[in-house]
């Protein structure tokens, strides 16, 4: 979730910034939503309070403004409303599936607090007459603490499993392209760890220009899309991925808990630069084409295009911190080398057995294709115990 601006309601007259009465109440409004300990309240706060208030403010502006004098803002508001309606549609469906009446009843006082904040602020735009209320912080009475440890739901039952090395398989010439597309769907789906890691960089990096947060959020959104491409790929093959494919979170967990934000960005930059040469994203796209799986080829085409943009974002926001590109790359490599992956330790602690789930998934795909499994592919059994995801000179996922 994006952090709200420190002073949410300010007006600018001829470039001069004037604090607006009620901005403190809006600050509490967003702090409360940020600090809520439950998913249910987070959904209600965002999708039943914050976004509808923003939508109403944009509509009000459209109604009240002079269409000629303020045409650029009118145009902007209209486009923003399209996206806000998309977000609301997602939110309404999420609330309907996750929030029941008893949870709503438990949160009654808190929901009233949010309404009081908006009323006291004269609404989100400050355009209404403020109605003074007694505002007392609840969840945000203690300042919000960002939790770097990724959380996943029941679709990820074995999050420490590093039993199937996707890259060794993908770059082994003895295997045909068809099973490689299945492994690439896994590589895409596993990318859910990139938004988990990027969210921590964005949250813990303050005082950058607005464009930094816009670019980094665009990339985070792309990485979430890449993970969904993997999910769609498995669904297209009739594979029940939450039961069959063990998607780990070890990369985001390790980077978030062991490295500083700039060091995490360094690792991301190092990986993404490694995706540009011929054996990176181009190779994955060529495998997709050669496999005659149109969905895989399409996804890899757009995945590659997105990575070109990400490499540019890295040049704009990470590279500038260094004297030269070589130094920036070397630092990224060094930061990644410092990250400890406790492969054996996790097994000893009983967190995972690093079970080889590949043969089951491959058999499901063969059933879908109506072909007999290839014995060599079926026997694939290389883990991440000794080989880093980028194979030192091959590639990682981002």
Q: Does 281 bind Fe ion (CB under 5 A)?
A: no
Please identify, among the stretches 74-82, 185-193, 291-299, 365-373, the one whose residues bind Fe ion according to the rule CB under 5 A. 185-193
- Binding range to Fe ion, per CB under 5 A, among 12-20, 77-85, 86-94, 226-234: 226-234
Residue 16 belongs to what H/E stretch?
A: strand 16-19
Is position 265 an interface residue for Fe ion (rule: CB under 5 A)?
no
Residue 226 contacts Fe ion per CB under 5 A: yes
The answer to whether 208 and 187 are in contact (CB under 8 A) is: no
CB distance 164 to 383 below 8 Å = yes
398 binds Fe ion (CB under 5 A): yes
Structure tokens at 312: 């540019």
Is the backbone of residue 392 left (phi > 0), alpha (psi -120 to 50) or beta? left
Distance in Å, CB of 194 to Fe ion, minimum: 6
Subset of 288-307 contacting Fe ion (CB under 5 A):
307
The torsion angles phi and psi of 11, rounded to 5 degrees, stand at -110, 150
Reading the block at residue 88, the tokens are 């609301």
Q: How far is the CB of 273 from Fe ion (least distance, A)?
A: 11
Residue showing tokens 């879908």:
368
Does 188 participate in binding Fe ion (rule CB under 5 A)? no
Q: Is 18 helix (H, G, I), strand (E, B) or coil?
A: strand
* Shortest reach from residue 271's CB to Fe ion, in Å: 8
Given a contact cutoff of 8 angstroms between Cβ atoms, the answer to whether 18 and 10 are in contact is yes
Minimum CB distance to Fe ion smaller for 184 or for 253: 184
The nearer residue to Fe ion, 118 or 311, going by C-beta atoms, is 311
Q: Is 310 in the site for Fe ion (CB under 5 A)?
A: yes
Select from 32, 41, 215, 223 the one that contacts Fe ion (CB under 5 A): 223
Which tokens is 371 given? 């072909």
Q: Measured from the CB atom, is 137 or 315 closer to Fe ion?
A: 315
Name the DSSP letter for residue 385.
Answer: S
Residues of this chain that bind Fe ion (CB under 5 A) = 191, 223, 226, 307, 310, 398
């Amino acid at each position: 979730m994006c952090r709200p601006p420190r002073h949410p309601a300010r007006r600018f007259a001829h470039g001069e910034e004037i604090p607006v009465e009620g901005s403190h109440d809006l600050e509490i409004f967003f702090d409360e939503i940020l600090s809520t300990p439950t998913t249910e309240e987070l959904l209600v706060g965002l999708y039943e309070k914050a976004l509808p208030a923003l939508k109403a403010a944009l509509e009000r502006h459209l109604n009240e403004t002079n269409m000629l004098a303020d045409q650029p803002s009118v145009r902007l508001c209209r486009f923003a409303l399209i996206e806000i309606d998309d977000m609301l549609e997602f939110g309404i469906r999420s609330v309907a599936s996750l929030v029941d009446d008893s949870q709503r009843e438990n949160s009654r006082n808190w929901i009233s607090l949010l309404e009081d904040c908006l009323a006291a602020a004269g609404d989100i735009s400050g355009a209404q007459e403020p109605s003074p209320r007694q505002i007392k912080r609840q969840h945000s009475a203690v300042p919000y603490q960002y939790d770097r440890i990724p959380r996943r739901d029941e679709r990820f039952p074995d999050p420490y499993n590093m039993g199937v090395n996707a890259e060794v398989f993908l770059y082994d010439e003895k295997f045909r392209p068809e099973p490689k597309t299945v492994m690439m769907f896994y590589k895409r789906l596993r990318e859910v760890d990139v938004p988990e890691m990027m969210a921590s960089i964005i949250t813990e990096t303050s005082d950058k220009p607005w464009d930094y947060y816009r670019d980094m959020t665009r990339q985070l959104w792309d990485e979430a899309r890449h993970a969904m491409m993997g999910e769609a790929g498995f669904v297209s093959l009739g594979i029940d991925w939450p039961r069959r494919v063990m998607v780990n979170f070890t990369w985001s967990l390790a980077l978030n808990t062991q490295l500083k934000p700039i060091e995490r960005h360094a690792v991301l930059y190092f990986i993404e630069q490694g995706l540009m040469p011929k054996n990176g994203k181009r190779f994955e796209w060529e495998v997709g084409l050669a496999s005659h799986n149109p969905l895989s080829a399409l996804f890899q085409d757009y995945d590659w295009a997105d990575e070109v943009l990400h490499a540019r974002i890295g040049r704009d926001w990470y590279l500038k911190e260094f004297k030269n590109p070589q130094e920036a790359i070397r630092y990224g490599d060094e930061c990644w080398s410092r990250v400890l992956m406790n492969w054996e330790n996790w097994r000893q602690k009983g967190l995972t057995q690093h079970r080889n789930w590949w043969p089951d998934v491959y058999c499901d795909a063969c059933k879908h294709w109506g072909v007999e499994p290839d014995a060599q592919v079926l026997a694939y059994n290389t883990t991440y115990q000794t080989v880093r995801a980028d194979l030192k000179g091959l590639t990682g996922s981002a």
